[in-house]
Amino acid sequence: MRRVMLSVVCLMLGVGSHSPLQAQPASSLTAEEPENHTIVVERLVRYHDSGEYERQIRDIVNNARDYLGSRLKTLAKGDKPAVVLDIDETALSNWDAMSSCGFCAYSVQLKLYSNAHDPAIVPVLELFNFAKSKGAAVFFVTGRQETHRQLTVDNLREAGYSGWTDLIMQPDGNKPPARVFKSQNRHSIEEKGYRILLNMGDQSSDLAGCCAERTFKLPNPYYQIP
């Protein structure tokens, strides 16, 4: 009887030759291996090259343009309408550099490739020109740093962007998070008397915080910026 009771106690405590913890295979405690990077890269390239990426951008920008056109008709006298745009993967495309380096970090792209001739994302260029034609001020607020200002100005103009109201860039050195920097600068734009009707970017951090009546996020599965 004592042997029976001892066996029951051992089982309850999970000890002994038949302990469930000892019998559990070691492999079941190991985290599953992530998907291979090569497979991810191939999937991203197919998404881009299929035309789906471009189609999604076009649909979103068309909605933004329709909204902007309608909203501009309802402004009160004296209002100063404004549009805020991000640059990378919003106004300009870094696709060639991104895809060539296997979607490496932006800082690495700058070391390997020149981004002096990034092409325009055409629907956004059309939105930019539409906004200007209707009297809206257009501001670029970008995570690019001041050291790249002239390169960025030249690239924007080469791609067809001209006549923007301001180009606001991150200071050189340690950068605040994009969600903080961009929100602060939209607030500064409003303090100058502008009403930001539309804010567009490809990152959630482009749109976080204040200050815009409507936000439009473009697709970007290629990288993430906090």
- On the question of pLDDT at 94 being above 90, the answer is yes
223 part of a folded domain: no
Using alpha carbons, select from 197, 215, 214 the residue that is nearest to residue 206: 215
Average pLDDT, the chain: 89
Domain extent at residue 22: 1-30
Report residue 80 as tokens.
């100063």
224 part of a folded domain: no
Higher pLDDT, 140 or 107: 140
Check if the beta carbon of residue 113 is closer than 8 Å to that of residue 97. Answer: yes
Do 44 and 155 share a domain, yes or no? yes
When pLDDT is cut at 50, 70 and 90, the band that residue 110 belongs to is: confident
Do 66 and 165 share a domain, yes or no? yes
- On the question of pLDDT at 7 being above 50, the answer is no
CATH code, domain with 140: 3.40.50.1000
Do 16 and 62 share a domain, yes or no? no
pLDDT at 26: 53
Do 11 and 117 share a domain, yes or no? no
Task: Tell the burial category of 173 from Cβ atoms under 10 Å away from its Cβ (0-12, 13-18, 19+).
Answer: exposed
* Dist CA 170 CA 143 (whole Å): 5
212 part of a folded domain: yes
For tokens 């939105």, the residue is 127
pLDDT at 85: 98
Do 18 and 47 share a domain, yes or no? no
Check if the beta carbon of residue 11 is closer than 8 Å to that of residue 5. Answer: no
Check if the beta carbon of residue 192 is closer than 8 Å to that of residue 84. Answer: no
Lowest mean per-residue pLDDT among 80-89, 100-109, 206-215: 100-109
Do 52 and 154 share a domain, yes or no? yes
When pLDDT is cut at 50, 70 and 90, the band that residue 145 belongs to is: very high
When pLDDT is cut at 50, 70 and 90, the band that residue 9 belongs to is: very low
Do 66 and 156 share a domain, yes or no? yes
Do 113 and 177 share a domain, yes or no? yes
Residues 18-69: pLDDT tens digits?
Answer: 444 444 555 556 788 999 999 999 999 999 999 999 999 999 999 999 999 9
For tokens 């103009």, the residue is 157
Most confident segment among 53-62, 92-101, 105-114: 53-62
225 part of a folded domain: no
pLDDT at 27: 53
DSSP-derived 3-state class of residue 99: helix
226 part of a folded domain: no
Q: How many domains does the chain have?
A: 2
Residues 154-197: pLDDT tens digits?
Answer: 999 999 999 999 999 999 988 899 999 999 999 999 999 999 99
Do 26 and 41 share a domain, yes or no? no
Per DSSP, the residues of 113-181 read S--TTPPB-HHHHHHHHHHHHTT-EEEEEEEEEGGGHHHHHHHHHHHT----SEEEEEPSSSPPPHHHH
Do 76 and 18 share a domain, yes or no? no
Report residue 7 as tokens.
């066996």
202 part of a folded domain: yes
Q: How far is CA 151 from CA 67, 156, 201, in A?
A: 32, 9, 20
Do 206 and 139 share a domain, yes or no? yes
Do 8 and 115 share a domain, yes or no? no
